[in-house]
Amino acid sequence: MLVSQIGYYSLILGLIFSLILSVFSIKDLNSFNRKIDQNIFTFSLLQLTFVVVSFLCLIFSFVKSDFSNETVFNNSHTTKPLFYKISGTWGNHEGSLLLWLLVLTLFIFLFIIKSSNQPKKYRILTLLFQQIIIIGFFLFVLVTSNPFNYLFPIPNEGLGLNPILQDPVLAIHPPILYLGYVGSSIIFSSVLASVTQNYISSEWAKHIKKWVLISWIFLSVGIMLGSIWAYYELGWGGFWFWDPVENVSLMPWFTLTALLHCILVLERRQLLTSWVVILCIASFMLSMCGTFLVRSGILNSVHTFANDPARGIFILVFLFILIFLSLGIFFIFHKENYKDEKKFFLLSKETTILLNNWFMMYFLSVVLIGTIYPIFLDVMSTDKISVGPPFYHKLIVPFLIPFLIFMVFGSKLKWIKSEVNNKNLLVIFFIISIILSFFITKNFVRDLFLYPILIGVSLFLFFTTVVEFFNKKNVLSQTIAHFGFSLLILSILLNSILSSEIITNMRVGEKYYYDKGVIFFKKIEEKQESNFNSIVGHFKISDKRGNITNLEPELRVYNQPTIITSEADIKTTLLKDNFLVMNLVKGNEYFNIRYQVKPLMLWIWISILLISIGGMISFFKEKNEK
């Protein structure tokens, strides 16, 4: 209880210091010192410290199962394992907002101490713009989402966290995702500051690139973790459902990827300045918009937090204040360079980066419109429609073909002006890819048009990126990232057409014969763990080549709250995943079995890691060059 008081007042102090910091910053803007006032460093550190203290207090309350705290009561239980008590801190609305504040204050502190070689006014203005966001979130937490509400009488037991959320991957997914998602706030604040100072230049680009990389890398890994969790925990072998919450994390990724490429252009030539500004603003605005969509209750999803319209209105207003602010600054301060009529050569890296952006923005618009359109329709006509995977697939998949082809050439072309070298090699690769693709898809796909070409083009990109490793002059970060991307697309496509599934009802002791082998339902075992009882099914799957896979899916009965979950057993190997999940069939002793063979699942995760590693190499490279 005392801890809750400390946590609460820590937040208040944090807000107070935010305001003090803002005042000092405005003062320092007009001062003639060439260096930033030392107080500013101190106050931003203090601001961060108070948020950290508050966050630790909440963790402590969770660990001690302090049910006088309403958030702990709603989201925890004495029988939860310690690790999940801790991670339960950020697995709810209030706690995750503290995580928002933590990242916001941490990043601005890091920014201010690591940007000593940047112009003073720019640094202070970045701080000020970030403060607007920080103060907004402090108010949001204190007014609508206090994590330290007092409950009396103090309940003996909590309402428990959903057992589906008790998973190690899900535990680290929010912190990592937020480092990316919330981290784009720095890019936002920085670009606004930079525009007012007319500082959009290659120097600024070099400086902000680091922050873009950090945000992008963490966002990529965060999204990957969410998918991994969905695959191993939630689902029926799926890893992406085009659920609104998933889409919301994906949208900033599109703008950040586009931005990352444009920054490369801006670093070298004074081009695309307006577009870079727009992308920087859009990334964080999409994050804010996503936060609004997910927390306000306006959308229907399996991931949404508890709904509360008051919170929704606060975020909506806050979001639009930020949008209008950015709009205002852009139109008032931004100056385009008309006199340097730099030109684009058709065959150059700049052009392919433009093409990349063009497609990224298209993909973004598909996801954004798909997610938001039902809301618009519902308000305007009270007709409710659903927009699900078929929509996204139909609009995105065909466009992947030209996109992948452009990617092949993009990495090959040089800056400013270039020509395509090794034309012969490319042609050979292309032909091999198409033939290979035809053989792969022949037995698996109905329509002999879209998918064979798509796989052919992915293979084409794959081969060209592999070959790039042998090119002595290659840019390692780019090579790895593009290779990772081609591997990602290839794995997803091959996985989607080569996966197979058997659904059947079985009794203990039965054998089910299918075209490639037999499933033997050996026995049932009952187990007891700390907060659940489970029924484990033992299955032996033998295929015609003599390979044996043993799978043990579970049915778990949790005690608080009483939920029955079905835990799939997944055996992951380099080549494929064997996936088995079972469910009770009502009213008799049959179990409904779903057995799936899913090739290349592991490579989907590995490829995203490779993409992130490419980013990390780029991040550390500049340091060495200094």
Partner 1 sequence: MRFFKIFLLIFLFTNVTSANVEIENNNLKSKILKNIRCLVCQGQSVYDSESEFSDSIKLLVKKQIVEGKSEEQIYEFLRDKYGDWIIYDPKLNKNTYILWLLPLLLFLLGGAIMINKLKFKK
Partner 2 sequence: MKNKIYLSIIITFLIFCFVIFYNGLNNPNIYTPKINKKKNIPIFEAKDFSSGANIRSGKIFEKNTFYVVNIWASWCVPCREEHELLMKLSRNKNIKLIGLNYKDNFNNAKKFLNELGNPYSQILIDKNGLLSIEFGAYGVPETFVVNKKKTIIKKFIGPINEEILSQIEKIIK
Residues that bind partner 1 (CB under 8 A): 235-236, 238, 241, 243-244, 300-304, 341, 343-347, 351, 354, 358, 361-362, 365-366, 369-370, 373, 377, 381, 383-391, 395, 399, 501, 503, 515, 566, 583, 586
Sequence-distant (6+) residues with CB within 8 A of 587 are: none
What are the two backbone dihedrals, phi and then psi, of residue 402, each rounded to the nearest 5 degrees?
-65, -35
Distance in Å, CB of 403 to partner 2, minimum: 28
What is the contact surface with partner 2 in residues (CB under 8 A)? 292, 296-298, 300, 307, 309, 312-313, 316, 320, 323-324, 327, 331, 375-376, 378-380, 382-384
For partner 1, the closer of residues 84 and 305 by Cβ is: 305
For partner 2, the closer of residues 150 and 324 by Cβ is: 324
Are 411 and 356 a contacting pair, CB within 8 Å? no
Among partner 2, partner 1, none, residue 312 binds (CB under 5-8 Å by kind)? partner 2
State the Cα angle at 181 between 203 and 567, rounded to 5°: 145
For partner 2, the closer of residues 331 and 513 by Cβ is: 331
Distance in Å, CB of 282 to partner 2, minimum: 13
* Tokens coding 384: 């409710």
Distance in Å, CB of 522 to partner 1, minimum: 23
From CA 136, how far away is CA 139, in angstroms rounded? 5
Distance in Å, CB of 587 to partner 2, minimum: 8
Are 600 and 518 a contacting pair, CB within 8 Å? no
Among partner 1, partner 2, none, residue 290 binds (CB under 5-8 Å by kind)? none
Q: b/e map of 579-591 (b: 16 or more CB within 10 Å)?
A: bbbbeeeeeeebb
Closest by Cα among 178, 197, 174 to 186: 178
Among partner 1, partner 2, none, residue 49 binds (CB under 5-8 Å by kind)? none
Q: Which residues pair with 523 in a beta bridge?
A: 538
Distance in Å, CB of 298 to partner 2, minimum: 5
Among partner 2, partner 1, none, residue 373 binds (CB under 5-8 Å by kind)? partner 1
Among partner 2, partner 1, none, residue 27 binds (CB under 5-8 Å by kind)? none
From CA 590, how far away is CA 610, in angstroms rounded? 44
Distance in Å, CB of 337 to partner 1, minimum: 13
Among partner 1, partner 2, none, residue 236 binds (CB under 5-8 Å by kind)? partner 1
Residue 244, SS3 per DSSP: helix
Closest by Cα among 131, 183, 117 to 25: 131
For partner 2, the closer of residues 303 and 417 by Cβ is: 303
For partner 2, the closer of residues 385 and 431 by Cβ is: 385
For partner 2, the closer of residues 23 and 321 by Cβ is: 321
Among left, alpha and beta (phi > 0; psi -120 to 50; other), residue 509 is: left
Q: How far is CA 282 from CA 117, 289, 323, 367, 580, in A?
A: 27, 10, 9, 14, 42
Distance in Å, CB of 236 to partner 1, minimum: 5
- With tokens 């319209």, the residue in question is 309
* Tokens coding 556: 């778990």
Distance in Å, CB of 223 to partner 1, minimum: 18
Among partner 1, partner 2, none, residue 583 binds (CB under 5-8 Å by kind)? partner 1
Q: How far is CA 172 from CA 90, 120, 229, 540, in A?
A: 10, 36, 10, 33
Among partner 2, partner 1, none, residue 501 binds (CB under 5-8 Å by kind)? partner 1
Among partner 1, partner 2, none, residue 381 binds (CB under 5-8 Å by kind)? partner 1
Closest by Cα among 101, 89, 96 to 17: 101
From CA 315, how far away is CA 61, in angstroms rounded? 27
Burial class (CB in 10 A: 0-12, 13-18, 19+), 401: middle
What are the two backbone dihedrals, phi and then psi, of residue 443, each rounded to the nearest 5 degrees?
-90, -5
Distance in Å, CB of 316 to partner 2, minimum: 5
Distance in Å, CB of 618 to partner 2, minimum: 34
Among partner 2, partner 1, none, residue 421 binds (CB under 5-8 Å by kind)? none
For partner 1, the closer of residues 476 and 585 by Cβ is: 585
Strand 591-599 to 500-506 pairing: antiparallel
Among left, alpha and beta (phi > 0; psi -120 to 50; other), residue 517 is: left
First-last CA distance in the chain: 51
For partner 2, the closer of residues 378 and 419 by Cβ is: 378
Among partner 1, partner 2, none, residue 292 binds (CB under 5-8 Å by kind)? partner 2
* Tokens coding 398: 């065909």
Distance in Å, CB of 353 to partner 1, minimum: 11
Are 80 and 162 a contacting pair, CB within 8 Å? no
For partner 1, the closer of residues 225 and 368 by Cβ is: 368
Distance in Å, CB of 143 to partner 1, minimum: 27
For partner 2, the closer of residues 9 and 320 by Cβ is: 320
For partner 2, the closer of residues 63 and 323 by Cβ is: 323
Among partner 1, partner 2, none, residue 370 binds (CB under 5-8 Å by kind)? partner 1
For partner 1, the closer of residues 358 and 469 by Cβ is: 358
